[in-house]
């Protein structure tokens, strides 16, 4: 199976598609989600090969704001993962040290139900406190 790198850029209301490896091969698609299929079809017609032997990697050109948005979204996902790990650690520590589920929730800004869900997932055991 051969993989071709396909570039595309928005021109008016169409995506102009090129396959740099195959000079002179150009086609177009109305939507970005159609680019791969259109490129694959053009490649198979030009080379007279079975479509099952061709895969494409689409590399669209887009404004810098898209790159910024993608980067910010990835940073947010990374921050969410760090926050989740830190929260799980805090819940584990608080419950192990004898804090109640309600107190742990109040300290972390979470509901007692959420604390219970986290602790159940972690199988945290609480230390009984003296009355």
Q: Which CATH number do you get for residue 12? A: 3.30.2390.10
What strands, in cross-sheet order, belong to the sheet with 26-29?
26-29, 14-18, 2-11, 54-60
Confidence of residue 31 (pLDDT cuts 50, 70, 90): very high
Instruction: Give residue 18's pLDDT.
Output: 97
Q: Please indicate, yes or no, if residue 127 is contained in any of the structural domains.
A: no
Is residue 86, in this structure, part of any structural domain at all? Answer: yes
Residue 26 forms beta bridges with which residues?
18
Q: Which residue has the tokens 């009355």?
A: 131
Q: What digits encode the pLDDT tens for the residues 78-111? A: 999 999 999 999 999 999 999 999 999 999 999 9
CB 2 within 8 A of CB 57: no
Segment 32-72, tens digit of pLDDT: 999 999 999 999 999 999 999 999 999 999 999 999 999 99
Residue 76 is assigned to a structural domain of this protein = yes
Structural domain includes residue 89: yes
Give 3-state DSSP helix, strand, coil % of the chain, rounded to 5.
55, 20, 25
Residue 23 banded pLDDT, cuts 50, 70, 90 = very high
**CA-CA-CA-CA torsion for 75, 81, 82, 85, nearest 10 degrees?**
180
């Amino acid at each position: 199976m051969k993989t071709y790198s396909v570039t595309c850029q928005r021109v008016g209301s169409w995506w102009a598609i090129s396959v740099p490896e195959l000079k002179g091969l150009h086609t177009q698609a109305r939507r970005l989600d159609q680019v791969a299929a259109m490129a694959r079809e053009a490649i198979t017609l030009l080379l007279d090969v079975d479509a099952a032997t061709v895969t494409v990697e689409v590399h669209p050109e887009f404004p810098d704001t898209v790159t910024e948005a993608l980067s910010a979204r990835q940073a947010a996902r990374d921050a969410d993962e760090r926050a989740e790990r830190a929260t799980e650690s805090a819940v584990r520590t608080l419950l192990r040290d004898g804090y109640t589920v309600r107190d742990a929730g109040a300290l972390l800004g979470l509901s007692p139900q959420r604390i219970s869900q986290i602790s159940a997932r972690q199988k945290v055991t609480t230390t009984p406190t003296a009355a």
